[in-house]
A and B are shown apart, each in its own frame.
Chain A
Amino acid sequence: GAGVSQSPSNKVTEKGKDVELRCDPISGHTALYWYRQSLGQGLEFLIYFQGNSAPDKSGLPSDRFSAERTGGSVSTLTIQRTQQEDSAVYLCATSTAAYSYGYTFGSGTRLTVV
């Protein structure tokens, strides 16, 4: 597709449930990032995939968060046993190369934990 596609666009879940968020990157973009955007908190880095290298998981806030990228393409971010503080917009971004500063962001998934 022409851009980064994220699904679902909105997700409401009950506290304690698991959720999966999906990111379809731009074809050929080797680098893929997940960020979390909370009100007044800016964009918080979560995890980074680059080609076949081991992912950089240094931003994941707890072991309830995990992500994978299959075949260097689609990525899923999984949050287990969701908590109310997990409510935020989860943004996926991709770029053409490891050292790019120009990310293309998707429109995000707004997660609400009730």
Chain B
Amino acid sequence: QQQVKQSPQSLIVQKGGISIINCAYENTAFDYFPWYQQFPGKGPALLIAIRPDVSEKKEGRFTISFNKSAKQFSLHIMDSQPGDSATYFCAARWRTGTASKLTFGTGTRLQVTL
């Protein structure tokens, strides 16, 4: 119930195309949904995040769409570029007492081709 399911496992998109990564969750106690981007040999870095009372958040070419009733959210990368090639993780935050933790999806390896 603390899991976040992520798909697809890998994705190949042509330069200029739209990359879409989907995540689903069960636990309604999750209260924040961030996305992280990881380049080879580096740790993940925060990309964008959304609250469950917001249906969409956009930052540059990156947009999160959130469907609270379906318990699903997705990352859209518009005008995908080769520099976007990385592994993307969705995550969900849940609070326990005086602390909080992030549960991560299994990751999507995105390759943007020329």
Contacts and interface: CB of A to CB of B under 8 A. Distances in A.
Contacts of B42: 105, 107
A50 B43 contact: no
Nearest to B32: A101
Interface of B: 6, 9, 32, 34, 41-46, 49, 89, 91, 93, 95-96, 98-107
Majority SS at the chain B contact face: strand
A35 B89 CA distance: 13
A99 B95 contact: yes
B73 to A, nearest CB: 14
Contacts, number: 66
Contact of B99 (A48, A93, A103): A48
Interface of A: 4, 31, 33, 35, 40-43, 45, 48, 50, 53, 56, 91, 93, 98-108
Contact of A40 (B9, B93, B98, B104): B9
Nearest to B109: A40
A8 to B, nearest CB: 14
A11 to B, nearest CB: 15
Contacts of A106: 43
Contacts of B41: 107
B106 A102 contact: no
B100 A99 contact: yes
B43 A42 contact: no
A43 B6 CA distance: 12
A102 B98 contact: no
Contacts of B91: 101
14 contacts: A33-B101, A42-B89, A42-B105, A43-B44, A43-B89, A48-B99, A48-B101, A50-B98, A50-B99, A56-B99, A101-B32, A102-B34, A106-B43, A107-B41
